[in-house]
Amino acid sequence: MRIPIVDTRRQLDNIKSEINFAVSEVIESGQYILGPIVRKFENEVCEYIGVTHGIGCASGTDALMLALMGIGICPGNEVITTPFTFVATVEVIALLNAKPIFVDINPENYNIDTEKIESVITEKTRVIMPVHLFGKCADMDKINYLAEKYGLKVIEDCAQSFGAEYNGKKAGGLSDVGCFSFYPTKNLSAFGDGGMVTTNSDSLAENIRIIASHGSKKKYNSERIGINSRLDPIQAVCLSVKLKCIDSWNNLRGENAKLYNQLLKDADVIIPSEEYINSSVFHQYSIRVKNRDELKNYLQSKGIGAMIYYPIPVHLQGAYSYLGYKEGDFLVCERVAKEIISLPMFPELKEDEIKYIADEIKNFLKQ
């Protein structure tokens, strides 16, 4: 049996005719950049999340960059975030010559440890940027409290959390601004790169739209320095088709996670907690085990896809050595990075496949 970590083809099989029809409509329209199709999708996402503005862009990385630029991040400003994330979260801060300030993670959900944020806030801090990792929202009540207390902005990195909820509100609508990725393996995925920024701020939304279009509100009239970052109509219309399925797909991910937990509860691994199970949209299903690398090799030998996400935390990456962090600075993050492994997770994953994966993990642990 061969089971990939994610299988985008199975998803396509269920919606292929609708996708083909939607794409052909765009091709026939002759409108291939921006236009009403993109705006329609932006409005659909706004309605789904419960925000007033959505700005489509070229990628999740660009969404983060646009959010920082829209807020007005300047050289020397500090942005607090997590070292246990994909490097895009941090590189956009560095590219604007701001300074990433890291905080260790919560060992239960791998998100930023909100109890440790206040101690690193300085007069240079402008933004707190939590990452809703693996589909689980960070503790936004504490983050928003600290932001209000110190006059900071909050940017949610929602790349892995489309549809996730926190206290009845959806990710991307929990703070000043949310940033989404529609990379092909995300819960809501395009057939290529794509992203979106969400906000309830009229002024911030206008700033971001202008920045994303070469700094121009009107063609050939640059008001400020900008970039070229647009979600194209073909991706937008495909995402619009998929948006109608996202709750169903996320629910299936949750059922898969519950089955994994049931099958692995007595194994010598750390599984997601019940609190995590009940509130995550499971972009990834991740367990922790001491001999992680050997387990990955074993699973791959059995045809089972397994991934190690972020084996080197960002604070230990060579590109960020200039920040002066060293091994031992963030002990929880560093320990998790050595133990965590993600198992196959997608809505179309079958019960017998999950049972096979769990059985092989148990077989490995018996060795």
The predicted pLDDT at position 32 comes to 85
For 322, half-sphere exposure in the C-beta direction (CA atoms, 13 angstrom radius) is: 8
8-103+111-243 folds as Aspartate Aminotransferase; domain 2 (3.40.640)
In Å, how far are 181, 196, 244 from 241, measured between CA atoms? Answer: 16, 16, 6
- Whether the model clears a pTM of 0.75, i.e. scores above it, the answer is yes
Backbone φ and ψ for 198, nearest 5 degrees, come out as -125, 145
Q: How far is CA 284 from CA 134, 141, 257, 272, 367, in A?
A: 5, 24, 9, 11, 26
The domain covering 246-366 belongs, at the CATH homologous superfamily level, to Aspartate Aminotransferase, domain 1 (3.90.1150.10)
Q: Six-digit token pair at 347?
A: 């809505």
pLDDT given for residue 276 in this prediction: 82
Cα 305 from Cα 344, distance rounded (Å): 6
The confidence band for 187, taking pLDDT boundaries of 50, 70 and 90, is: very high
Distance CA 310, CA 314 (A): 8
What is the pLDDT, as a whole number, of residue 218?
84
Round to whole Å and give the CA distance between 161 and 187: 7
3-state secondary structure of 90: helix
Predicted confidence at residue 274, as pLDDT, reads 83
**155 three-state secondary structure:** strand
Backbone CA torsion sign across 316, 321, 327, 329? negative
pLDDT at 272 over 90: yes
- Which structure tokens are listed for 99? 């300074």
Residue type, 244: K
Q: List pLDDT tens digits, range 25-56.
A: 989 888 888 889 999 999 999 999 999 999 99
Domain boundaries, the chain: 8-103+111-243, 246-366
pLDDT in tens, 192-225: 999 999 999 999 999 999 999 999 988 888 888 9
Count of C-beta atoms within a 10 Å radius of residue 39? 14
Backbone φ, ψ for residue 53 (5° rounding) = -135, 135
CA pair distance 133, 281, nearest whole angstrom? 10
Least confident among 123-137, 207-221, 320-334: 207-221
The per-residue pLDDT for 14 is 87
pLDDT of 123: 97
Pairing of strands 340-343, 285-288: antiparallel
The yes-or-no verdict on residue 278 having pLDDT over 90 is no
E-strand stretches of the chain: 53-57, 78-81, 99-102, 125-128, 153-157, 165-166, 169-170, 177-181, 195-199, 216-218, 221-222, 285-288, 340-343
Q: For residue 344, give the DSSP letter.
A: P
Which residues make Cβ contacts (< 8 Å) with residue 209, sequence separation at least 6?
Answer: 55, 217
Residue 18, pLDDT above cutoff 90: yes
Please give the structure tokens belonging to residue 210: 């202008």
